[in-house]
Structure 1
Amino acid sequence: MSESLQTGDVQTRFLKLDEFARLFEVLISRGYEVIGPTIDQEAIVYGPLSSIDDLPRGWTDQQEPGRYRLVKRDDNAFFGYVVGPSSWKKQLFPPVATLTRADRTEEGWQFQEVEEETPRYAFLGVRACELAAMKIQDRVFTGGPYTDSIYDQRRRQALVIAVNCTQAASTCFCTSMQTGPRCKTGFDLALTELSDGFLVEVGTAVGAEILQDLDTGDISPEQETRADAARQQAVDQIERRFDTTDLKDLLLSNLEHPQWDDVAERCLSCTNCTMVCPTCFCSSVEEVSDLTGEHVERQRQWDSCFNLDFSYMNGGLVRNRIRNRYRQWLTHKLATWIDQFGTSGCVGCGRCITWCPVGIDLTQEVHAIRESQS
């Protein structure tokens, strides 16, 4: 998390395609592990990259509720897709993390803190909604009296190279959440892809240092016009609207609404929505022993409020029905999250809609409750 430049200090340069290829060399020479979009198992996911050849060049995604498909583009765009099932949460808040270790000795159990080298990531291809998600998780993990050291160290080391969206999926609603599609803050560098290169906005001093290692040129009026048109194209393609007016009060005053029963008949409680969500942070802690019983590790693992046992306490389950678990997820995400962290927990990326096996759309569920009140 580098300190952002003042508005007057922000500069924009043009980066040709061959120099964009050299960006990987620059990042790796500075000790970064580049993480970005690549194709795996017929989806665009975030993983390690070594060169531009690992990027999903010439591919895009078609998304609808409960449906995701890759299709070829009619050009060779590197970032001509929306967002896939993975998010940067995986790198900043790892799915499994060892917190402490203990070994049985002749003197008894000896505990030791886990000391692991913090990875130095360069995130390439971060979208505006994902920048908003990082800001939300910053508040969750570092904004209160307790700081999660694993998240904090990884976040501080990370370099963020954002990419402005030039197209949208049918499941996107970032404009309703005021989180995109234009990247405005929270990045070291931000790219807008054109056919012959990239417009690069510098957001921090660290970003400026990296750009100095590359051969860039001035921005022409024609390039600026094309970039504006490309970014506006994403805005124009967003058709899904989500009315957030008095959303917290709407949900919390309708906890017994029949719509919760309706959605429960469709929901599989599969946890997909929470796994793909870039802001969900539920976890559980377990003691994991080896086969000898001489070595034990305390591990934190991703969990979900949709799991039946997640609400187990005092000898019983608090939320033993799918209706209650879906209501907990939605009201926390859109209402009580505001009480906890001062903001909604939703950034409008649409992942939960696309990756729900039965195509449940949270915007439609809230709309149904709102319509019944009018």
Structure 2
Amino acid sequence: MGTATSAPTVPPPPRRAVISADALDDLLAALRAAGFRPVGPTVGAGAIVLDELASAADLPHGRGSATAPGSYRLTERGDRAVFGHSAGPQSWKRFLHPARRRLLTADRDPRTGETSLRADAEIPVPYAFVGVRPCDLAAIKILNRALRRAPEGDRGPFIVTVECTEPGAACFCASAGTGPGCADRIGDFDLALLETDDENGHRFLVTVGSERGDAVLDAVPRDPVPDGMLEAARAAVAAAAGRMGRALPPTDLRVLLARSADAGHWADVADRCLACGNCTMVCPTCFCTSVEDTTDLTGDHAERWESWDSCFDIDFSYLHGGSVRTSTRSRYRQWLTHKFGTWHDQFGTSGCVGCGRCVAWCPVGIDVTAELAALDAEAATESGDAR
């Protein structure tokens, strides 16, 4: 007699609703009432930057961005879009992994010579991240894994994602496997927004991704989802994947980079690269740091500080006797090989989410997708394969 098997349980569809653009203020108020500090995109220093949001008026209404290798410009869209821009120079890393933080303080009593040490406790700030792009949603998970943080669940930042329907010219998240589209990643976000502005008004389709997201949405004026809106939203996200400005070469990058240590193309990159480290500073997943001890003039007070560092810094690989990577060629190769290759060995994923920040904010316009394609072409030429 056979054994009866039960059908797999199909999770219920997530809760969805529609809110007006005016209800963004209600959303921010609901987040504050729940104990969160909303931060999100706003305009500052000629770019889209991340800062605390006092009201929805702080969001970049009607502003877009034009990106290209070595180029970023704010634009006027001519419409009311709130999230109609691509990634700016800052990522959510600045809140999750601050650029500089004190680790400990040491004080010596000049009379007794006794020394006391005090570690600086990390006091988590209850942030609400408003306007997280699909690529940055993936970057938050990757960064937390690299920092060996336990899953935060409801203790982590409240995440309001924004579906991407207008990728920038420097974006390549589709080929990186991180977007567009985040509403199906239930559990990775609390609320997901998709912005529409048509004859039916300026609205947001909201998808609930967690219990606390459900509770916050209950405090916001909302309407049911009209017929056809969900299907149109899905089509808009799917269409965005075909409008990426760039793409990674369709090959196993881990294998390619492992076999390309002596490729001649590294010298070509080194002739252009300034080793400035801009790409690592704007990258949402680069996590390297250095530690520095400082003392006051008396020698009785000392502090230990952790600061962002970069593998492009010649002293980053300094060991007894000197630096390991003395050439720009070797440092660029280390960064690219780690990001797309050995990151898999360490953390199980690629370290790149395809946000395009490193392309736009490179002073000399080095494009990682073009450099990987050049390495792939060189490898194909050497092996005799036609590409």
Deviation for aligned residue 1:240: 1.5
1:192 is the counterpart of 2:198: no
After superposition, residues 266-345 of structure 1 pair within 5 angstroms as 266-345=272-351
Larger Rg: 2
After superposition, residues 357-368 of structure 1 pair within 5 angstroms as 357-368=363-374
The equivalent residue for 1:71 is 75
The equivalent residue for 2:96 is 92
Distance in 1 (CA, whole Å) between partners of 2:358 and 2:307 is 20
Q: CA contact under 8 A between 1:119 and 1:157: conserved in structure 2? A: no
Q: CA contact under 8 A between 2:164 and 2:240: conserved in structure 1? A: yes
Question: Structure 1 pair 7/44, CA: closer, same or farther in 2 (3 Å)?
Answer: farther
Give the letter for the 1:366 counterpart: L
Question: Structure 1 pair 155/109, CA: closer, same or farther in 2 (3 Å)?
Answer: farther
Deviation for aligned residue 1:313: 0.5
Distance in 1 (CA, whole Å) between partners of 2:152 and 2:241 is 35
Tell me whether 241-250 or 94-103 shows the greater mean CA deviation. 241-250
Q: Aligned pair count? A: 362
Deviation for aligned residue 1:84: 0.5
Question: Structure 1 pair 36/13, CA: closer, same or farther in 2 (3 Å)?
Answer: same
| 1:58 aligned residue (62, 71, 79) | 62
Give the letter for the 1:72 counterpart: E
The equivalent residue for 2:383 is none
Deviation for aligned residue 1:366: 1.1
| 1:37 aligned residue (36, 41, 45) | 41
Identity of aligned residues (%): 45
Deviation for aligned residue 1:64: 0.3
Distance in 2 (CA, whole Å) between partners of 1:321 and 1:114 is 37
After superposition, residues 110-259 of structure 1 pair within 5 angstroms as 110-142=116-148, 156-183=155-182, 184-185=184-185, 186-195=188-197, 196-259=202-265
Q: CA contact under 8 A between 2:103 and 2:303: conserved in structure 1? A: yes
Question: Structure 1 pair 154/44, CA: closer, same or farther in 2 (3 Å)?
Answer: farther
Distance in 2 (CA, whole Å) between partners of 1:115 and 1:246 is 42
Tell me whether 293-302 or 316-325 shows the greater mean CA deviation. 293-302
Q: CA contact under 8 A between 1:119 and 1:154: conserved in structure 2? A: no
Distance in 2 (CA, whole Å) between partners of 1:289 and 1:163 is 45
The equivalent residue for 1:3 is none
Q: CA contact under 8 A between 1:264 and 1:322: conserved in structure 2? A: yes
TM-score normalized by the length of structure 2:
0.90
Please give the secondary structure, in 2, of the residue aligned with 1:191.
Answer: strand
Distance in 2 (CA, whole Å) between partners of 1:158 and 1:7 is 25
Please give the secondary structure, in 1, of the residue aligned with 2:147.
Answer: helix
Q: Which stretches of structure 1, 4 residues or longer, exceed 4 Å deviation after superposition?
A: 152-155
Deviation for aligned residue 1:125: 0.3
Q: CA contact under 8 A between 1:333 and 1:344: conserved in structure 2? A: yes
Deviation for aligned residue 1:236: 3.0
Distance in 2 (CA, whole Å) between partners of 1:346 and 1:116 is 27
Deviations 1:153-205 (A, max 9, x none): 79933110000012011111111011001013211100001122100000011
Distance in 1 (CA, whole Å) between partners of 2:306 and 2:152 is 16
Q: CA contact under 8 A between 1:167 and 1:233: conserved in structure 2? A: no
Give the letter for the 1:180 counterpart: G
Q: CA contact under 8 A between 2:145 and 2:347: conserved in structure 1? A: yes
Deviation for aligned residue 1:225: 4.2
| 2:27 aligned residue (23, 29, 47) | 23
Deviation for aligned residue 1:292: 3.5
Give the letter for the 2:156 counterpart: Q
The CA RMSD over aligned residues, in Å, is 1.8
